[in-house]
Structure 1
């Protein structure tokens, strides 16, 4: 890989994690300006290599990788001189949380009943 390719890759990575990923392009809907907002996370890694373990084996190797995760978190609504934050509610997370809470309550009630029965 040439130095130009490496620098091009770094520039592409930098562009992937720019503020435009977090704040989308504003658009207007029914007289309200909407600005989408997202949580952005990225990571990269690399590898390497050398000669083989056995005699006469040729060696080599190398690898790189990059990943990005974008999750919508809400929008800003701009009406005249008023700005309002509207969070994106993940119903699945709410349901999971309530299921965990219900499970904890059932376990606690069962333990209290067992202790009282002795």
Structure 2
């Protein structure tokens, strides 16, 4: 795969449709889903040489990838647009665990200092 081919495939993968989903109409309400999209890619080519400086082979490769996570929705009703963010429960749980761990370590440190003073 050469670099031009990789770039063409990458352009096709990242479109507005990846960020804004198909609008959903329910009665007089229009909902437009929105996602966070990130992409990355790379390519390379190289040649191998032996100890005498003679070429013994060459190769190349490349690739790209992207990810999308829900960000929320735009709700359009009666000409008024409202943003409703998506709630990531996993992030909330992880944050709670980190706060709990910090609390436990702080309490442990306080008890150790208190115990040494006695």
TM score, norm. by length of structure 2: 0.83
Match status 1:34 vs 2:23? no
SS in 2 for 1:51: strand
Residue from 93, 96, 104 that aligns with 1:95: 93
After superposition, the CA RMSD in angstroms is 2.2
How much does 1:44 deviate?
0.9
Shift of the 51–115 alpha-carbon distance from structure 1 to 2, 3 Å rule, reads closer
SS in 2 for 1:10: helix
Instruction: Give structure 1 regions of 4+ aligned residues with deviation exceeding 2 angstroms.
Output: 8-12, 51-58
Matched residue pairs, number?
115
* Superposition map of 1:1-118 within 5 A: 6=4, 9-53=6-50, 58-117=56-115, 118=117
Q: Bigger relative contact order, structure 1 or 2, given CA contacts below 8 A and separation 6+? A: 2
Between structures 1 and 2, the one with greater strand share:
2
Aligned mates of 1:53, 1:36 — CA distance in 2: 56
Is the CA contact 2:40–2:65 (under 8 Å) kept in the aligned structure 1?
Answer: yes
